[in-house]
Amino acid sequence: MINTIDYHHIFSEIASEFKEVDDLGAIANYIPELGKVDPTKLGVHLTTVDNQHYAFGDADEPFSIQSVAKVLSLTLALKIMGGDLWNRVGVEPSGSPFNSLVQLEYEKGIPRNPFINAGAIVICDILVTCLDDPKNDLLAFIRKISGIDSINYSSKVAESEKKCGYRNYALVNLMKDFGNIHNDVDIVLDLYFYLCSIEMTCKELTNAFMFLASGGMNPIINERVISLTRTKRINSVMLTCGFYDEAGEFAFRVGLPGKSGVGGGIVAIHPGKFCIAVWSPKLNAKGNSYKGMKVLEALTTKTKCSIF
């Protein structure tokens, strides 16, 4: 099945079609450093579970992966804490923007899911509690599961976000008041901002996320990252919550579990087949890559291959 799809041909069709597509998105300049990125970038990299690679455009250029990283912090927290983690963060779609405060008050400081900002901040709190050296241990985990030692944080992006992360300060303080943040709020947010600042290329992202396409095991480096059951759980939360209040639209158009970030990156998984990463910095009104979503829709339409 894997090799019957002519990805080379499909990618060259998509590459030429998308040259003509107007990008109606806007760059995420609420984080000043992200506002400096060239908005015309477009990169795509697909890696199959049997280690075939297909790419075009700016697939080898590092960019700020932002909320895409929240899948990796969740994976590490699940490994460390196990299912008890779900007492502190839910698994329901929020139907609200990624940085919304509204539900948190009604729901007593328990975020709907680990991918909205509030949920990812709780995961950072768990990592601060459990790890000796949270920033370095988290980075070491990501380097290990991807097999790429050069992956790093961008302190420029993290510090830029810290200066204007007013909503994230509001979220962490509200949750602290409800008792769902156990550590000092500045230490927790510092880890959160650094998590979001990680820079990777599309190709590197497919390496880091490959375990989700192959039952918890990264076959490229022969490394088990997490169990089969937890792989199912992470993929299902990506499908239902990976795109905030556009998760339904992504499932409807693309039909794969995925996760976006305000740097314009999207990673999507076809369990048993491949992992794909797309980068195009301009975002739609919901904070997801405008062209990235369209490229992925074209891919699953042309290959006639989604999880549904």
Rounded least distance, CB 65 to ligand GLN, Å: 8
Is residue 113 a contact point for ligand GLN (CB under 6 A)? no
CA 147 to CA 232: how far, in whole Å?
A: 22
Which residues, 216 to 255, sit near ligand GLN by CB under 6 A? none
Q: Which is nearer to ligand GLN, 119 or 215 (CB)?
A: 119
Q: Does 258 bind ligand GLN (CB under 6 A)?
A: no
Residue 17 CB, nearest approach to ligand GLN (Å): 27
Shorter beta-carbon distance to ligand GLN: residue 152 or 303: 152
| 100 sits near ligand GLN (criterion: CB under 6 A) | no
| Site size for ligand GLN (CB under 6 A) | 11
The rounded distance, in Å, linking the Cα atoms of 69 and 115 is 9
For 47-76, letters b (16+ CB in 10 Å) and e give bbbeeeebbbbbbeebbbbbbbbbbbbbbb
Q: Which of 263, 254, 258 is nearest to 308 (CA)?
A: 254
Compute the distance between CA of residue 256 and CA of residue 268 in angstroms, rounded to an integer.
Answer: 6
Q: Would you count residue 281 as binding ligand GLN (CB under 6 A)?
A: no
Residue 262 found at the interface with ligand GLN (CB under 6 A) = yes
Which of 75, 99, 201, 284 forms a contact with ligand GLN (CB under 6 A)?
99
117 touches ligand GLN (CB under 6 A) = yes
Taking the CA atoms of 257, 188, 197 and 245 in sequence, report the sign of the dihedral they define. Answer: positive
Burial category of 135 from C-beta neighbours within 10 Å (exposed 0-12, middle 13-18, buried 19 and up): middle
Instruction: Among 261, 264, 281, 292, indicate the residue that binds ligand GLN (CB under 6 A).
Output: 261
CB of 186 to ligand GLN, least distance (A): 15
- The site map against ligand GLN for 25-64 (x = CB under 6 A) is ----------------------------------------
Taking CB atoms within 8 Å and a gap of at least 24, the contacts of 106-109 are 108/178, 109/174, 109/175, 109/177, 109/178, 109/179, 109/180
Handedness of CA 282, 286, 291, 296 (dihedral sign): positive
Nearest-approach distance from CB 161 to ligand GLN, in angstroms? 6
Residue 189: both structure tokens together: 């947010």
Tokens read off for 124:
């950072």
Rounded to the nearest whole angstrom, what is the least distance from the CB of residue 263 to ligand GLN in the complex? Answer: 7
When binding is defined by CB under 6 A, the residue of 127, 151, 196, 225 that contacts ligand GLN is 196
The DSSP output letter for 209 is H
Which of 47, 154, 168, 231 lies at the binding interface for ligand GLN (CB under 6 A)?
168
124 counts as binding ligand GLN under rule CB under 6 A: no
Please give the residue ranges that form the binding site for ligand GLN (CB under 6 A): 66-67, 98-99, 117, 161, 168, 196, 261-262, 287
